[in-house]
Amino acid sequence: MTDEYANPNDLVFYVKYHIKPEFINEFQERLMNVVENMTQEDSFVSAFVHQYAESEGRFSMYERWTDSSKDAFMTYQMEGKAYRKEYEKRLPLISETPRKIHLLKPLAYWISANVKPSENDLIFYVNFHIKPDKVEDWKKAALQVLNKMAEEDTFVSTFLHQDAEDPSRFTIYERWNEPSMEAFEKNHLNAKEYRQVYENMLPNLMQSMRTFRILEPLGSWIGK
């Protein structure tokens, strides 16, 4: 692991966008311009921008900052930067639905020392809703799986979070150097004994079925 990408004290957001079809190109241009400016900020750590594999009008951004709180971020970044003003003014007009900003509490992360991120990576964003009395059991099981995942040859990175407002909800952002979901299932989900043990435990730990998105990477930025 390396603090070049993240540390446990970072302020972490996962932002979802749903853009009207006729404004997709405009949105991408505006968002990329904002991100390029973001990278010059002293408190910027990293950002990953994606498009949903199943819907070209849906996008997400995973971003990390060293600002002390969400309120500080809103004051100094969202409301205080001139390069954001036109973007913020335009965004509601080109969106199908309002942007959703999820505040996450970082718990742990794993970065491969050998496999670097690429535009062809297979990326998942996985959501878990755990039974309140099973949270610690799930965290223990998840950490065991993630530690083993990080040893796989095609593993790139994983970030584990707890929802800042609901401690029974967790997310995992994971990245693999695999060509397809089919290859990932063959090489990892269906081939590793440690995963089968974990999968057998999950139904007893979760309040509802886990959900996940396959994301297509559009760009990665690491701070200075």
Is residue 20 located within the same domain as residue 50?
Answer: yes
Chain mean pLDDT for the chain:
92
Is residue 137 located within the same domain as residue 202?
Answer: yes
When pLDDT is averaged across residues 48-70 and rounded to a whole number, the result is 93
pLDDT at 185 over 60: yes
pLDDT 10s digits, 1-30: 344 445 778 999 999 999 999 999 999 999
Tell me which amino acid residue 126 is. Answer: V
In this prediction the pTM is 0.87
Is residue 91 located within the same domain as residue 109?
Answer: no
Is residue 131 located within the same domain as residue 183?
Answer: yes
191 domain residue, yes or no: yes
pLDDT of the residue at 117: 87
3-state SS track over the chain: CCCCCCCCCCEEEEEEEEECHHHHHHHHHHHHHHHHHHCCCCCEEEEEEEEECCCCCEEEEEEEECCCCHHHHHHHHHCCCHHHHHHHHHHHHHEEEEEEEEEEEEEEEEECCCCCCCCCCEEEEEEEEECHHHHHHHHHHHHHHHHHHCCCCCEEEEEEEEECCCCCEEEEEEEECCCCHHHHHHHHHCCCHHHHHHHHHHHHHEEEEEEEEEEEEEEEEECC
pLDDT 10s digits, 138-183: 999 999 999 999 999 999 999 999 999 999 999 999 999 999 889 9
pLDDT of the residue at 224: 67
Is residue 87 located within the same domain as residue 121?
Answer: no
pLDDT of the residue at 191: 85
pLDDT of the residue at 2: 40
pLDDT of the residue at 80: 85
CATH number, domain with residue 27: 3.30.70.100
1 domain residue, yes or no: no
pLDDT 10s digits, 68-89: 889 999 988 888 899 999 999 9
pLDDT-wise least confident of 19-33, 84-98, 102-116, 123-137:
102-116
Which of 103, 125, 154 delimits the end of a domain? 103
Q: Residue 55: helix, strand or coil by DSSP?
A: coil
Percent of the chain residues topping a pLDDT of 90: 78
Is residue 117 located within the same domain as residue 62?
Answer: no
224 domain residue, yes or no: no
Nearest to 194, CA basis, from 134, 130, 133, 151? 151
Nearest to 161, CA basis, from 178, 144, 142, 184? 142
What backbone phi and psi angles, to 5 degrees, belong to 10? -65, 155
Q: Which residues make beta-bridge pairs with 60?
A: 16, 50
Which of 85, 103, 121 delimits the end of a domain? 103
* Separation between Cα atoms, residue 208 and residue 211, nearest integer Å: 9
Indicate the number of domains in the chain: 2
Domain hosting 129: range is: 104-219
pLDDT of the residue at 3: 40
When pLDDT is averaged across residues 209-213 and rounded to a whole number, the result is 93
Is residue 166 located within the same domain as residue 74?
Answer: no
